[in-house]
Amino acid sequence: MDNDMLQDVLRKARTELGLKQNEVAEMVGVTQQTYLKWENGKSEPKISQAGKLASALKVSEKELCQGEFHKQKMDTLEFIRKVETLLQHVPQSEFLIGIQEYIHDEEGFIDFLRNASDYPFELFNIEKIDNARYMLEMVESGAFKFEDPRTKEMFIEQQQKIIAEKSK
């Protein structure tokens, strides 16, 4: 973390929320002196404190670590309403690219959707196995050609490994 940039993010986020230093310190579970050192660039928060600090200041952990302040998080309901409206006017592929580009926890997002859905998540493994088998068939039929026999061998091993792992 760059202390100068971190202190800018901390100060700006705190003041935009109208919080005092002691209030942020209390929310994070540290002394006011500790928080003051962070905001003055004399020390940095521990990794274990970054999540609480980000949550208290409504910034991402990435913003803290990179010392770059991005747009403030929106109110949840306002965000949902705007996205819902834009979904009607944005191609689905662009929407999905945006999700992948801007979400910070892709696996968490997929898990959230899996839990909210009745889609049988196990089918992803079947699709991956079918794809690996298809790729092997393409190699065996000669549709895929390799310049180097070692590369071909490594590709075949990789596809076989996928089939073995996902079949369990």
Report the CATH number that the domain containing residue 21 is assigned in CATH: 1.10.260.40
Please give the Cα distance from 150 to 10 (Å, whole number): 52
Question: Does the residue 144 lie in any domain?
Answer: yes
* Domain identity same for 89 and 128: no
Q: Is 14 found in the same domain as 54?
A: yes
Number of domains present in the structure of the chain: 3
pLDDT digits (tens, 9 = 90+) for 37-53: 998 888 888 888 888 99
Among all chains, which residue has been given the structure tokens 């004399």?
Answer: 42
Q: Are residues 17 and 57 in the same domain?
A: yes
Per-residue model confidence (pLDDT) at position 32? 94
CB 7 within 8 A of CB 42: no
Query: Does residue 81 carry a pLDDT above 60?
Result: yes
- 61 and 80 in a common domain: no
Query: 60 lies in which domain range?
Result: 3-66
Is-above-0.75 flag for pTM?
no
Distance set, CA 12 to CA 6, 87, 125, 168 (Å): 10, 32, 45, 50
- Asked whether residue 71 is assigned to any structural domain, the reply reads no
Residue 129: is it exposed, middle or buried by C-beta count within 10 angstroms (0-12/13-18/19+)? middle
* 27 assigned to some structural domain: yes
- Do 100 and 153 have their domain in common? no
Mean pLDDT value of segment 137-141: 90
Identify whether 161 is part of a domain.
yes
- Pair (133, 155) in one structural domain: yes
